[in-house]
Structure 1
């Protein structure tokens, strides 16, 4: 039986939900400044150590359909606190992993369990915030996610330089346990779906516009999150230490935090296609700058601009995913997140060998081109959706 409706619509996500999304994001992005150190400590190449990140993202992505269906059936809050406990255990194993294989497996399990948190939190906002207020509320949640990203890349690099890279995996494990207790205090919300898991998946995967939205998310994951993972290694290839590289990459999170404050006023004045255009143009400029030269300054610039695309383009796609098929919202959002992070795994897997071969200009130049194609496709698709 479903829980009763909330007594009044929310206008922003609860603190406990934002905190859980923060921890999930922290764990996901903390690895970027560690890849070179992990490779050196465990006797691996950069390409091999990139498996720690790419398999995490892959597990994060392919687990999404399961989590989405379970959240539709059993509730968002319950799913989040259970998976946070499991993710904490995987994080503890990561912190004591004796070799690269053990670390890769532990991180894959961590990715799978943390994978439930962000889509469930996004769906919870979709369930509890009215559609006309949803994009600003989602932007607030993504600001918390971005804060996790920024603090992860900054703090993990410093901890690795000053202490040990293993501590970085223990920190989110402890935070995950604390967040799970906070979530237990929230009231559950689970709408009646009236259909089973298989029929819900069928309705989502045969819906034209669901396929369009999740396809756009896949490409976005590759060219934004996948390549974002490689910014710190790109700096380290220039002889810059993990701490400085992590701090520079943290500009992405700072960019999201700053630009997300503009989503609420801009969404009231601009159509979604225009917000998408604004968000899509920003990373193109950033990648062109990196194509010309890689330095602390250019990575900071690119990171800030990638933050803008997360606030404007990604928040638009995310809002679209919460409304395209409301009766299967949890499943659609999970498919969206799954495709996003499957794309990020592909982006990191393809970009890693290019970086290992020191072909950074080719990587960033080709990414700028794909980003331009993605932006045009997203804008035209949304305009067609609005005219349907």
Structure 2
């Protein structure tokens, strides 16, 4: 708590001291009609429809709520192991940040996002068929690394949709992402109860793989 307070205080001091030297920000009056027209234009872009309707947050984050029940049912552990799986997913984000520059230079953006989709499929299949807690946790790490490959590609493409209204494009992406994250547990709950993890997880992985191949196509937003 003390360390967090010190970091927050230093950050606030930096903002206050550095703000005076910054160039004045150009401000415009809010135009509701113009904003709605931007959203309407975005929703009719073919590329935007793929990016927004992908809702990859639901395909990935929706399963977290069921980790405890799945691992208990298979005798792989319980809340502790489920927590480690989620923590491994978070660590995957750190791994992604560490390797992204090198991987992008080595594979290129389009091949990298397709690789990410394939490995997301493998990670989700690991959740469906894991026979030990450590395999399940390893699936969380792999999913964390490769979900961010897809998510970063989506975010990059979103900022390119309408440069003159980039804020609106990103806001619409955030809306769809969190809607997907909200619906994800519901959809996972239905598929897990009706089909079981051995089918539900590969279906989600196949959807991510298909999304990654769509994202890997040349952009035609304009």
**In the TM superposition, what is the alpha-carbon distance from 1:306 to its structure 2 partner?**
1.0
Q: 1:303 to 1:279 in 2, by over 3 A?
A: same
Cα distance in 2 between the residues matched to 1:276 and 1:369: 14
Unaligned runs of 5+ in 2: none
**2:66 aligned to which of 224, 230, 235:** 230
**In the TM superposition, what is the alpha-carbon distance from 1:379 to its structure 2 partner?**
1.6
The answer for the alignment partner of 2:109 in structure 1 is 272
Cα distance in 2 between the residues matched to 1:349 and 1:281: 24
**1:247 aligned to which of 80, 84, 89:** 84
Which string of whole-angstrom CA distances, capped at 9 and with x for unpartnered residues, describes residues 122-141 of structure 1? xxxxxxxxxxxxxxxxxxxx
**1:211 aligned to which of 49, 54, 66:** 49
Say whether residues 1:317 and 2:141 are aligned partners. no
The answer to whether the 8 Å contact 1:256/1:308 transfers is yes
Higher relative contact order (CA 8 A, sep 6+): 2
Q: 1:271 to 1:194 in 2, by over 3 A?
A: farther
The answer to whether the 8 Å contact 2:53/2:176 transfers is yes
Cα distance in 2 between the residues matched to 1:325 and 1:180: 37
Q: Which has the larger radius of gyration?
A: 2
Cα distance in 1 between the residues matched to 2:185 and 2:10: 34
The answer for the alignment partner of 2:97 in structure 1 is 260
The answer for the alignment partner of 2:127 in structure 1 is 290
Which string of whole-angstrom CA distances, capped at 9 and with x for unpartnered residues, describes residues 15-56 of structure 1? xxxxxxxxxxxxxxxxxxxxxxxxxxxxxxxxxxxxxxxxxx
Instruction: Summarize the alignment of residues 1-388 of structure 1 with structure 2, pairs less than 5 Å apart.
Output: 182=11, 186=15, 187=19, 192=27, 196-207=31-42, 208=45, 209-216=47-54, 218=55, 220-239=56-75, 240-293=77-130, 295-355=132-192, 359-380=196-217, 383-385=218-220
Cα distance in 1 between the residues matched to 2:185 and 2:52: 19
Aligned residue pairs: how many?
Answer: 209
The answer to whether the 8 Å contact 2:128/2:197 transfers is yes
**In the TM superposition, what is the alpha-carbon distance from 1:272 to its structure 2 partner?**
2.2
Return the TM-score normalized by structure 1.
0.47
Q: 1:232 to 1:326 in 2, by over 3 A?
A: farther
Return the TM-score normalized by structure 2.
0.77
Unaligned runs of 5+ in 1: 1-170
The answer to whether the 8 Å contact 2:121/2:202 transfers is no
Which string of whole-angstrom CA distances, capped at 9 and with x for unpartnered residues, describes residues 329-359 of structure 1? 2222121121112112222111124445682
Cα distance in 2 between the residues matched to 1:294 and 1:362: 16
Q: What is the Cα-based RMSD across aligned positions, in Å? A: 3.1
The answer to whether the 8 Å contact 2:38/2:168 transfers is no
Which string of whole-angstrom CA distances, capped at 9 and with x for unpartnered residues, describes residues 152-189 of structure 1? xxxxxxxxxxxxxxxxxxx9xxx79x859945853498
Q: Secondary structure at the match of 2:74?
A: coil
